[in-house]
Structure 1
Amino acid sequence: MFRLLYEQNSITRNYQLIWMIVCLLVSGQGMLDAADKTPALAADSAKRKVYFTTDVVPLLTRLNCNSGGCHGKSTGQNGFKISLLGFDPAMDYSAIARESRGRRIFPGDPDRSLLLLKATGLVPHGGGRLLEADSADYALLYDWIEQGTAGPHPDDPEINKIELSPGNRVFQQRSSLKLQVTAHFSDGTQRDVTHQSIYESNYPEIGKVDQEGLITTQSRGGVFAVMARFGEKITVFQGVVPYHSKGQQKLTGYPSEEQLSKIDQRLVAQWKKLGIQPSKPVDDATFIRRVTLDICGTLPTVDEVRLYLADSRPDKRERLIDRLLERPEYASYFALKWADILQNRGSGYGTRNQRAGTMLFSAWIRDSIAANKPYDRFVTELLTATGRQAQNPPAIWYRSVRSTPDYVESVAQAFLGVRVQCAQCHHHPAERWSEDDYYSFAAIFSRVGRKGGFADAEVPTNEVIYLKDEGEVHNPRSGKLMQPRPLGGPDFKVSRFDDPRRKLAKWMTSPENPFFARTMVNRMWGHFFGRGIIHPIDDARSTNPPTNSVLLDELAYDFAANGYDVKQLIREITNSYAYRLSANPNKTNAEDSQCFARYYPKRLSAEVLLDGISQVLDVPTVFPGGPGVFPEGMRAVNLPDENVRFNFLDVFGRPARTSACECERTVDPALSQALELVNSKEIQRKLTDKNGYIELLASNQKTHSDNVREIFVRTLSRPPRTSEVETAVKYLNSEKNRHEAYRSLVWALLATNEFMMNH
């Protein structure tokens, strides 16, 4: 055999011959034994044609060969690089069959191929043993090599879709179900690819899945999804696991139909399916604090709390919500939220002359919200903005969002709820988006022109945004010229006189758009409930399905049907039965973190917390202007940008506004926050200010008991319990210094979770 190969006069064959000899010397008799067995296996296996794209590549994905931690990473592994998750079969074929003079493949004797020797561990392999010599996967690779190692060809069948069976199910705890995946190909054939697929659960603590598609539910309830992937196609299975065990007595105590809105009906239906009861509704004091913080980002005053508690009208909640939506604090609070998402950033530039622009942009956002500008119009004015910042403030958005990645990723995440960053370099690993999708979307902004501004600035502060006559975007990998096309939408036909951004805005704000309304209602739901129906709120994909799709679809339909009226959307959410539920769990919903059978407490954001402390202590914060001076009494919520140096805000999670992701704002606890509460010079200044609330308490003629009752309503928005009054009065009587006593009492209440959380 060696002599015949040698006589073929081929450099590649000679190289393979040398490699085979080395392998024989290294592996010895063990490899010869494997070689004796495998041809028989190959002969017995079905000899259908093996295609590289639809057979070999999915197997490499299943074996993790092309994962980001192995040969699929940008630098490859040990000199061997293939595309991440097999999204470039032509590149993969070249790397496997052609690179290094074809040393990885040996068609004359497939068993001697380095591809198989390493996979079976007969030659040292950093990834360990991946295949057994008598496995079906080994036989598939063997057949492909034996059939001549054909590469991708335009006439090869493609995968049209994959289907999962059985369909979505309700499980019992500690039960199992085997999934089956069927692939449908462009030549009309279909095949069971269960073994060749890969699986992943989004909540393995509820339902986990193994490599063969076997789902096993755990000892807790909830909603979970399993992604199945074969080649480039993805499908999702959803499961529901009731929280109660089989045979448990039927639960009662759900609200009557008369109490329920459409929102609540969808939620109650899911609670019944999960076997959980909602927590009881909160009292009036908790509700006014919750809804005032959520709508206005401020604490209710003592008078507001007392008037609401004394109000006996049956529609007092609806009246309260309507009043809050008309207050200027509502517009300021949600303007802060949108300034984060729209990256109204003042820092990180080569000039400090950014403040005029950020103030104009912040004011435009706030005025739009105060006027209840329809959401579709708000987004359209932003995306299509042209001109100078002084004449058209939304044009300032293009100061931060100015590159190809910025356009695609900011617009997709802010308004479509899609995280498409991965597709800049490769096909999205958990969604349908490709590089062509990414750069076609970027082409919509290819004619955005800029002129003017400060030439020495990293980002001009007063540039003019205009529409250029021409502009192109090419896919950097293929070099192909991309036509303007939105994600999941049609190609735009545009002339030099058309603005592709206007076509984008029209497509995006159409009621039929599958992303726009859903993203906004999910964002608002997440704001009020602490988590989205899709969570994270701006990561909508088939592999991250909503926990209650019927609810989300209905909210989105109503939002579009009501003319994208944001205030009406807020009314629907805050007037719901679900929004009034207590944060205290019961026995059935203690583990629920997805389905809103109780209120999920959330820490106050940095600005709201600082303003709340200022409100209680009646001492405004003095912010450094940088440049200029802010007016006295400026609230943190009203700051025009994040470039106002203030340690308290940074410690408690103020975002840098470098992306459109709300995840930049953090509310996770940290040791630095506890230290800030103890050591903050600003808090100490407020506690000791001669014109503040502590001075008023220490100098008035009221009894300790009366003062304590007012302190509790002022800080926690509720009257104190009898035991709390007794404990506080006892402490105050024990202290000789009245100022210090009240200072310590109020500071202790400000440091409690009850004050720092919305609950």
Structure 2
Amino acid sequence: MTDRKEPLIDSLLDELFQQKSPPDLTARILAQLHSPTDSAQVTPSQNGAAHPAPISAPIYTAALQATHPPVDGPASEIKASEIDITEPVASRSELARRRTIWARRRQWIISGGMSIALMALVAFGAWVIRGNQLEQERLAREDAANPLVTPAHVESPINDKKANDDPVKPSQNVPSPPLASNSQPPAVAPLMPANTGPVNTGPANTGPANTGPANTDKPQIAANNTTQPSQPEAADPRPQIIAEPIPTLAKNDAQVVTEINDALAAAWKDAGVKPTGDATPEEWCRRVYLRLLGRIPSVEEIKHFASQRGRDRDEKLVNEILYGEQHRDELAQYWGSRLANTLIGRAAGMSDGSDVNRAAFERYLGESVTTGKSYDALARELLTAAGSNQPSAADYNPAVNFLGSLLDQDATLATAKTCQVFLGRQAQCSQCHNHPWDAFDQRQYWQLNAFFRQSHAEKGKESFRVVDKDYAPPGDKPEEGFVYFERNNGVVDVAYPQFPGAPPIPPSGRISDVNRRDYLAQYVTHSDMFAEATVNRMWQHFFGVGFTPLVDDMGKHNPPSHPELLSQLSGDFAASGFDLKRLMRWMALSDAFQLSSQTSPDQVADQPYVGRPLFTHYYSRQMEAEQLYQSLEMVAQSRRAPALIADPAARHQWLGQFAREMGDDEGSVEHALEGSYAQSLEMMNGRLMEKATRLDSGVLKSVINSNMSPSEKIDHLFLAALARKPNGRERKAIGQILTARQDEMPAALQDVWWALLNSNEFLLDH
């Protein structure tokens, strides 16, 4: 660096080291910039010494001249000799030394700063370029997914009042779908093979194939290897859903069970863990009754099962429960209640004055299971149901209790619940923004929501009716049946009905042109997600944990623990004709369902509640509310079935005290039967517990009036409550109690029975 003195730098040094304010050099700078002499010209001082020009910065001079041309007036006529510059107090040698130090520091700062700035600039530029590429790719995908005719104009329902009532132009904040060369969308592409019906190699099903409400106005499903006859557009303008037929399941049930066992055994070997031993026959019998019928078995049922010999006794029991007439009503009651909990929650229809007819809905669902209706047919009925849920109405249809309770103003609850139940995906967060964990982005959410916009729930006093009407966006015509949605940046956009991964359906909102729910039902049940979600939910029911920690939040962010097994079972389930009973049978007869709930140190890697289940033992869990109620009812009964079928009104009243709707966007329900004070009080001295422990009813009455010895009576009570006999320590303690209270033996047995029913072991499915 040169040792040339520069007054501007000197002034800055004075300010830095001597805390002096620099002089105003504005006039001097302007004079130098507009001087005709060279910026490096030497000017004489008063004593004749030579001094450099006030400012020597040709680069800055050129830049300023380009951006600020000389102006006319006094400012341009100022001369250097007219500017009064006070010389620094410090000596010249001191200033030279300081300039040298400052020059070195400045050179280091400038070089380092320029390097950092250059690196930051390169990184920022790369980030901007990549962001633009991603945005262009996203827009390209959206354009490709929406080959529809752009509406003539799009008006925002958020800002109804616009200047001069002008329609929104494409350049405004409401982008429109891209123009298409043809106003008719293409035929719907195949999503998943169509259901052609199973060849049932399992136990015979004697019930009718379908007793649910008929729905005759459905889009056709045809194999794509079949030539479709051309029809006039006026006769049926709706496109057909073309799908590959599902091959009939060629395996028998034993082969499917073997594949389940082999897949789990391979996972155990890979993880270096060993499964626990098998449960006792009594424990397994209790487990089967709880999972299939929703109650514990009676002592007679336990003894009958344990007394049988042969390797097929497990299969006989499962077949008897699923396909026998003896348990038909119980099976319908339990699975009707379970499916209703999944579809509408535990609280809907439990309170007085509710417009949901829960009892009728549960009967409809239970009959669908017991008669062998395929699950995809049941799902289509639920998604397309119309009519009234009032039994006395001419258009009575119990299936409407599903959507009727969810069709709010914008059908957002119906959209979210459909994705959760039938597709196993969360979608409600995508209502407002592109959520990183949701399976669908914001546009896809509103495309799904558009399928429900023709449907409405007309509320009555204690009932409702689901009807379909022409739909049109605000201020527009039904021919353009799009829906508005607002992005999180404030831009108002539009969406047409379209299932993820499939072309859009006709955009018209007129029922005479297209019934959107018909198409939605077909798309949902032909999606791979439908079979996977059903298998995952059923696996959770039997084993306590699904292949994913949350069965209604599947996706890349929540990968399954056994992806190959899930895929295999989903394909087998679809090929079976979506037969729920066969799916239950496969899981109940698997080796993993036979295992004891006892654990060992060899199973440390089996961590089911953090997303790494290996199913090396049976995961104990608390009874469901329905199981607890039905079990207490059973031990309180003095007679066998059909007295085991509880009165629906009494059952709903008891269950309703533990469930409360949260009223949030997800329609979630708070359940208090999970170790709460309400549960403890009900179990200790509630009316149902009082009924189950009365001296003159149920199990206790039969034991007291029997000719059994005191030891045999205790064995009977233990077997009835816990499906086992007492161990040595328990037998000794209870024997001492009975000996001390010989004069009041019935009361002593009553206390023992009450203690057993309030024990943690009774409340557990183990």
1:475 has 2:482 as partner? no
* Structure 1 residues 19-55: Cα deviation after superposition (integer angstroms, max 9, x where no partner): xxxxxxxxxxx99998884323223678477156566
Structure 1 residue 352 displacement after superposition: 1.3
1:635 has 2:643 as partner? no
* Structure 1 residues 452-500: Cα deviation after superposition (integer angstroms, max 9, x where no partner): x53xx5xx71324224364541123333331101234332235532212
Query: Helix, strand or coil: the match of 1:613?
Result: helix
Aligned counterparts of 1:663 and 1:522: Cα–Cα separation in 2: 21
* Structure 1 residues 571-603: Cα deviation after superposition (integer angstroms, max 9, x where no partner): 111111111111111221145121111110011
Residue equivalent to 1:399: 404
Aligned counterparts of 1:580 and 1:587: Cα–Cα separation in 2: 20
Q: CA RMSD in A?
A: 3.9
Pick one of 461, 465, 473 that aligns with 2:463: 461
1:754 has 2:761 as partner? yes
Letter of the structure 1 residue corresponding to residue 747 of structure 2: E
Q: 1:548 to 1:54 in 2, by over 3 A?
A: farther
Residue equivalent to 1:288: 285
Aligned counterparts of 1:260 and 1:310: Cα–Cα separation in 2: 25
1:336 has 2:337 as partner? yes
Aligned counterparts of 1:41 and 1:473: Cα–Cα separation in 2: 49
Aligned counterparts of 1:616 and 1:553: Cα–Cα separation in 2: 41
Whether the 8 Å CA contact 1:345–1:658 is kept in 2: the answer is: no
1:517 has 2:518 as partner? no
* Structure 1 residues 369-403: Cα deviation after superposition (integer angstroms, max 9, x where no partner): 11121000000001011122242211222221103
Aligned counterparts of 2:284 and 2:635: Cα–Cα separation in 1: 19
Structure 1 residue 414 displacement after superposition: 0.6
1:367 has 2:367 as partner? yes
1:683 has 2:686 as partner? no
Aligned counterparts of 2:636 and 2:730: Cα–Cα separation in 1: 20
Residue equivalent to 1:123: none
Equivalences, count: 520
Q: Which structure 2 residues correspond to residues 171-190 of structure 1 after superposition, within 5 A?
A: none
Structure 1 residue 321 displacement after superposition: 0.4
Aligned counterparts of 1:279 and 1:662: Cα–Cα separation in 2: 37
Aligned counterparts of 2:130 and 2:589: Cα–Cα separation in 1: 54
Higher relative contact order (CA 8 A, sep 6+): 2
Aligned counterparts of 1:58 and 1:613: Cα–Cα separation in 2: 63
Q: 1:291 to 1:691 in 2, by over 3 A?
A: closer
* Structure 1 residues 702-721: Cα deviation after superposition (integer angstroms, max 9, x where no partner): 32122112212211223444
Whether the 8 Å CA contact 1:441–1:484 is kept in 2: the answer is: yes
Q: 1:616 to 1:506 in 2, by over 3 A?
A: same
Structure 1 residue 615 displacement after superposition: 2.0
Aligned counterparts of 2:571 and 2:269: Cα–Cα separation in 1: 24
TM-score (norm 1): 0.62
Letter of the structure 2 residue corresponding to residue 518 of structure 1: E
Letter of the structure 1 residue corresponding to residue 403 of structure 2: Y
Query: Helix, strand or coil: the match of 2:437?
Result: coil
Gaps of 5+ in 1: 10-29, 60-153, 155-256, 621-630
* Structure 1 residues 663-716: Cα deviation after superposition (integer angstroms, max 9, x where no partner): 855764345533443343542354235344434444444321221122122112
- Worse-superposed segment, 745-754 or 681-690: 681-690
Residue equivalent to 1:507: 523
Q: Which structure 2 residues correspond to residues 241-390 of structure 1 after superposition, within 5 A?
A: 261-326=258-323, 327=327, 328-343=329-344, 352=353, 354=355, 357-389=357-389, 390=391
Aligned counterparts of 1:670 and 1:464: Cα–Cα separation in 2: 38
Q: 1:429 to 1:481 in 2, by over 3 A?
A: same
* Structure 1 residues 185-223: Cα deviation after superposition (integer angstroms, max 9, x where no partner): xxxxxxxxxxxxxxxxxxxxxxxxxxxxxxxxxxxxxxx
Q: 1:352 to 1:49 in 2, by over 3 A?
A: closer
* Structure 1 residues 273-292: Cα deviation after superposition (integer angstroms, max 9, x where no partner): 10001111112111111011
Letter of the structure 2 residue corresponding to residue 384 of structure 1: T
Q: 1:633 to 1:527 in 2, by over 3 A?
A: closer
Aligned counterparts of 2:406 and 2:650: Cα–Cα separation in 1: 18
Aligned counterparts of 1:562 and 1:347: Cα–Cα separation in 2: 32
1:484 has 2:484 as partner? no
Q: 1:649 to 1:347 in 2, by over 3 A?
A: closer
Residue equivalent to 1:606: 625
Q: 1:523 to 1:666 in 2, by over 3 A?
A: farther
Whether the 8 Å CA contact 2:535–2:566 is kept in 1: the answer is: yes
Q: 1:665 to 1:334 in 2, by over 3 A?
A: farther
Aligned counterparts of 2:670 and 2:348: Cα–Cα separation in 1: 15
Query: Helix, strand or coil: the match of 1:373?
Result: coil
The higher radius of gyration belongs to 2
Letter of the structure 2 residue corresponding to residue 531 of structure 1: V
Gaps of 5+ in 2: 1-7, 9-24, 27-59, 69-104, 135-174, 176-253, 472-477
What percentage of residue pairs aligned between the two structures are identical?
26
1:50 has 2:104 as partner? no
Aligned counterparts of 2:274 and 2:627: Cα–Cα separation in 1: 32
Residue equivalent to 2:99: none
Aligned counterparts of 2:119 and 2:660: Cα–Cα separation in 1: 65
Q: Which structure 2 residues correspond to residues 405-554 of structure 1 after superposition, within 5 A?
A: 405-431=412-438, 433-451=440-458, 453-454=459-460, 457=461, 461-468=463-470, 470=478, 471-477=481-487, 478-493=491-506, 495=508, 496=510, 497-510=513-526, 513-554=527-568
Aligned counterparts of 2:615 and 2:621: Cα–Cα separation in 1: 14
TM-score (norm 2): 0.61
Letter of the structure 2 residue corresponding to residue 462 of structure 1: F
* Structure 1 residues 144-168: Cα deviation after superposition (integer angstroms, max 9, x where no partner): xxxxxxxxxx9xxxxxxxxxxxxxx
Aligned counterparts of 2:107 and 2:643: Cα–Cα separation in 1: 86
Aligned counterparts of 1:40 and 1:373: Cα–Cα separation in 2: 72
Residue equivalent to 1:241: none
Whether the 8 Å CA contact 2:428–2:666 is kept in 1: the answer is: no
Whether the 8 Å CA contact 1:385–1:394 is kept in 2: the answer is: yes
Aligned counterparts of 2:300 and 2:592: Cα–Cα separation in 1: 27
Residue equivalent to 1:245: none
Q: 1:753 to 1:366 in 2, by over 3 A?
A: same
Aligned counterparts of 1:601 and 1:346: Cα–Cα separation in 2: 26
Whether the 8 Å CA contact 1:343–1:657 is kept in 2: the answer is: no
